[in-house]
Amino acid sequence: MYYLLTYRTRRCLFATADDAFHCLQAWQQWAEAHTCNLIDYLLLPHCLQLVLQGRIQVYRTKTLVIQQLTDEELLASLARLGMHGRNYPFCGTYELYHASNCYAALGKAGFYALPYPLSVILKAKKNQSSKRARTVDCDEIA
């Protein structure tokens, strides 16, 4: 089963790249402690989103939401997590292209299989990041 974990806070989650990596390490350890694989992620200053594979309780608090994903929702979530493109260093998409600090399992060998081939996931991520880039261009012109 796949889940989308969203953690939102008013407090900034990181100030430096080192802070961001420590935050990601802590959440990766949290996932492992809950017997989940971290498939993909996006870390923003006030929000962290993780796609997890495993079995975890679905729940909602003021700052943390864990929701189960259908296969269709999984692909859409993976695409949204790639919205900053492959050059944003605090996302799983970056790891795919740059072999950075490895937190996400997306695109790496493992004992589990995603319901979509990597090529389909990458296409969805690329489409999402190009949509975001066009939106920014339009805003800048206006």
pLDDT for the residue 63? 92
8 CB-contact burial (10 Å; exposed 0-12 / middle 13-18 / buried 19+): middle
pLDDT for the residue 137? 42
Distances (CA, A) of 115 to 75, 90, 109, 124: 9, 24, 15, 14
pTM of the model: 0.81
Alpha helix segments (H runs only) across the chain: 17-33, 71-81, 92-98, 118-141
Closest CA to 104 of 51, 48, 34: 51
Distances (CA, A) of 30 to 20, 66, 94: 15, 13, 21
Sheet holding 47-53, edge to edge: 37-44, 47-53, 2-8, 64-69, 59-60
pLDDT for the residue 58? 86
Q: Which domains does the chain have, with CATH numbers?
A: 2-141 (3.30.460)
Q: Kindly give the confidence (pLDDT) of every residue in the chain, 142 residues in length, as a single tens digit, with 9 standing for 90 and above.
A: 999 999 999 999 999 999 999 999 999 999 999 999 888 999 999 999 999 999 998 889 999 999 999 988 999 999 999 888 888 889 888 887 776 656 777 766 555 667 888 888 888 888 887 765 444 443 333 3
3-state secondary structure of 36: coil
pLDDT for the residue 101? 59
Yes or no: say if 58 and 38 are a contact pair by the CB < 8 Å rule: no
